[in-house]
Amino acid sequence: MDFKRNYQVKFLSKQINVGIRSFSTLPPASKINSWFLTGFCDAECTFSTLIQFNAKFKTLWRVKLIFAIGLHKKDISILQKIQATLGVGKIHIHGKDSVKYRVESIKDLQVIITHFDKFPLVSAKLIDYQLFKICFNLVLLQEHLTKEGILKLVEIKSAMNKGLPINLKEAFPNAIQMDRPEYTFKDIPNPYWVAGFTSGDGSFGVKTASSPTTKLGSRVQLRFKY
The answer to whether 127 touches 181, Cβ cutoff 8 Å, is: yes
Q: Which fold has domain 10-203?
A: Endonuclease I-creI (3.10.28)
Which residues lie closer than 8 Å to 131 by C-beta, 6 or more apart? Answer: 47, 49, 156, 157, 159, 160, 181
What pLDDT digit, counting tens, does each position of 155-199 carry? 999 999 888 999 999 999 999 999 999 999 999 999 999 999 999
What pLDDT digit, counting tens, does each position of 54-81 carry? 999 999 999 999 999 999 999 999 999 9
Q: The pTM is what?
A: 0.81
